[in-house]
Structure 1
Amino acid sequence: MSRSLQIGSNQRDRNEFSATPSIKNGNALRIINEYEKGDEVEVASQELGFIGSYYAATIICSTGDDYYRIKYKTLLTDDESEPLEDVFSAPEIRPVPPHQHETMSENGFRLYDMVDVFDNDGWWFGFISAKVGDEYYVYFPTTADNIAYPPHALRFHQEWSNGKWIFLPRQGKIFNLY
Structure 2
Amino acid sequence: MAHFFNIGDMVEVMFPQVGFVGSFFVATILLVLQDGRLYVQFHHLLSANGIFFLRSVVAATNIRPIPPFIGTSEYELDDIVDVFVNDGWWVGRVVDVLRSDGYYEIRFEMYDEVSFNEFFDMRPHLEWEDGRWVSVLE
TM-score (norm 2): 0.92
Whether the 8 Å contact between 1:117 and 1:124 is mirrored in structure 2 is yes
> Aligned to 1:138, which of 87, 102, 106?
106
**Once superposed, which parts of structure 1, at least 4 consecutive aligned residues long, lie more than 3 Å away?**
none
- What amino acid maps onto 2:62 in structure 1? E
1:125 maps to 2:99: no
> Aligned to 2:49, which of 79, 89, 93?
79
Shift of 1:131: 1.1
Whether the 8 Å contact between 1:54 and 1:122 is mirrored in structure 2 is yes
Residue number in structure 1 paired with 2:126: 158
Residue number in structure 1 paired with 2:9: 39
Distance in 2 (CA, whole Å) between partners of 1:46 and 1:163 is 20
Shift of 1:32: 2.8
Which of these two proteins has the greater Rg computed from alpha carbons? 1
1:115 maps to 2:81: yes
> Aligned to 1:63, which of 24, 33, 41?
33
Shift of 1:61: 1.1
Distance in 1 (CA, whole Å) between partners of 2:36 and 2:132 is 19
TM-score (norm 1): 0.72
Distance in 2 (CA, whole Å) between partners of 1:149 and 1:71 is 26
User: Percent identical across equivalent pairs?
Assistant: 32
Shift of 1:47: 2.0
Q: Unpaired runs of 5+ in structure 2? A: none
- What amino acid maps onto 2:118 in structure 1? P
User: How many pairs were matched up?
Assistant: 136
Distance in 2 (CA, whole Å) between partners of 1:82 and 1:95 is 23
Deviations 1:145-173 (A, max 9, x none): 12111111110000111111112228xxx
1:91 maps to 2:61: yes
1:147 maps to 2:111: no
Aligned-partner SS, 1:152: helix
Aligned-partner SS, 1:79: coil
Distance in 2 (CA, whole Å) between partners of 1:150 and 1:118 is 10
Aligned-partner SS, 2:27: strand
Aligned-partner SS, 2:55: strand
Distance in 2 (CA, whole Å) between partners of 1:159 and 1:136 is 22
Q: Unpaired runs of 5+ in structure 1? A: 1-30, 171-178
Distance in 1 (CA, whole Å) between partners of 2:58 and 2:3 is 12
